[in-house]
Amino acid sequence: MALIPQLLERCQEFYRITLINPFFFSLLFLCLLFLLKSIKGGVKLNLPPAPPRLPIIGHIHLLGTLPYRSFKSLSKTYGPIMLLYLGRVPTLVVTSEEVAKEIMKTQDMVFVNRARPRAAETLLYGCRDIGFAPYGEYWRQMRRICVLKLLTPERVQSFHFVREEVAVELMELIRCASLNGASIKLGEMLIYTSSSIVSGCVLGRVYFGKNKKRFDELGRTATELLGGFFFGDFFPSFGWVDVLTGKVKSLNDTSEGLDALLDEMIEEHRSSKHNDDQPDKLSVIEILLQLQKEGMLDNDITQNDLKAILLDMFIGATNTTSATMEWAMTQLMKNPNKMKKAQEEVRRVVGNKMKVDHDDVDQMDYLKCVVKEILRLHPPGPFLIPRELIQSAKLKGYDIPPKTIIYINAWAIQRDPKLWDKPEEFLPERFMNNPIDFRGQDFQFIPFGSGRRGCPGISFATILIEYVLANLLYWFDWKFPGGAGVKDLDMNEVYGLVAHKKIPIELIPVLHSPISPK
């Protein structure tokens, strides 16, 4: 009982101290808050497994230069669902077909939102594009426009005149080089070709002059920034570091340059006569302006919305298609028997015609298998565009905290030996008479994603890739420069916004057909 007076005395002393010393009281209050938070958070969550993390940086040291490869290796130890911390950001990494299906189909609405990195916020007008826009009425309307107006099979086919025009120019450039026996930097040519086709389809005419050069330069910088590292994305309280390093200035300068060019292009289209007498030849920008003018949208779209969508399509389509075509030519050169088989099919189908028709490509079954196998082995985006969990969720029995960023490792899934026979080998034949497709229904093969957030430009990309490759294989045979051979072919990749060859492929073209491409 003697303890009671002592306790009362201590309480009175404590009361006097807290009244006299506000700082002490504030400190105590903060400690109590921390204690309450700890008690509240004391419910033990069943979190996904993870390797030990370091203070402050978390698991960033485990990323490596090719994080999709690093994460595939980690998954062998920690399983197909890992909860890593990249700096201060909880990050769920998925390397399983089954879990990917759960996220993109079964619980698609739970995981439907996108992460919003600093570069996308700045370059894409606050993420007003289709890829990064938050789920909601605006995003639904924009996707509906893409699916029903901009990228329908009929509309994609109607762009054939742009693809043909640019392909003829590319073949003529290569033919001129072949007359001198010179090697060409095919990788760089394919980037230019993709850019020209995409700008022709999206912006209405192919910008071969000063504007195109400037737009391509800014587009390349934007691509590097979108795929680059921003300190503030992983350590939100230290975004000022990106200011000191000059990343924010580069981001703002690029954004302002693109903004001015896009404004100029839009105003040019507004003031010019559209192809009203040829509705099948309308470009993406013309269709959007027409919908805006005729009031056919549920919600008005602003000038910035237009620019975000156009930029999204230009950057996304240019980089994915050029990288895929370069990998295709690389793998065919590495596997001469596959090259021979593909060329024999293309030349048999086309015959002695003056040009490769799009109808011809529809009959090239083996070429389509080559493209599928390239998309399996070398998906342009090894990680699908990251998602962000808004509220806590359950996934395969694990508790996933809110604000977790979700990375689906398509590269790892598409090389999973449990799903694919000889997964590291280039075997286009695996897709012959095989119903597995990349349109989002087969979750072991998801280069374009799936579900609500699946890429709406699948047909646009694959038709472009197949058509240009068919021309390259029809008109020319190909040799390594300087006496090099298959063993000298560099297969390393570098990862940014897309995974492309570290060393662009350089080859010697040999004209096969006596008829010049026209």
Which positions make up the binding site? 455
Cβ-based neighbours of 194, under 8 Å, separated by 6 or more = 317, 318, 319, 321, 322, 325, 464
Given a contact cutoff of 8 angstroms between Cβ atoms, the answer to whether 367 and 346 are in contact is yes
Name which of 495, 209, 285 is nearest 379 in CA terms.
Answer: 495
Indicate the annotated binding residues for heme.
455
Rounded CA gap, 494 and 490, in Å?
12
CB burial of 81-107 (b: ≥16 within 10 Å; e: otherwise) equals bbbbbbbebbbbbbbbbebbbbbbeee
Rounded CA gap, 487 and 504, in Å?
16
Cα dihedral 418, 421, 424, 428, rounded to 10, equals -140
CB burial of 236-275 (b: ≥16 within 10 Å; e: otherwise) equals eeeeeebeeeebbebbeebbebbbebbeebbeebeeeebe
- Residue 468: how many CA atoms within 13 Å on its side-chain side? 34
Neighbour tally for 36: CB within 10 Å: 10
Name which of 45, 48, 134 is nearest 91 in CA terms.
Answer: 48
Name which of 325, 362, 327 is nearest 346 in CA terms.
Answer: 362
Name which of 1, 93, 171, 46 is nearest 413 in CA terms.
Answer: 93
Name which of 245, 229, 228, 223 is nearest 87 in CA terms.
Answer: 229
Task: Give the H or E element holding residue 267.
Answer: helix 247-271
Neighbour tally for 295: CB within 10 Å: 7
**Planar angle of CA 152, 156, 159, nearest 5 degrees:** 145
Please provide the size of the chain in residues. 518
Given a contact cutoff of 8 angstroms between Cβ atoms, the answer to whether 408 and 103 are in contact is yes
Name which of 314, 286, 334, 330 is nearest 129 in CA terms.
Answer: 314
Distance of CA 167 to the CA centre of its chain: 24
Strand, coil or helix: what is 408?
strand
Rounded CA gap, 286 and 374, in Å?
33
Q: Using CA of residue 38, residue 43, residue 48, residue 52, what is the dihedral sign?
A: positive
Pairing status of strand 405-408 against strand 89-94: parallel
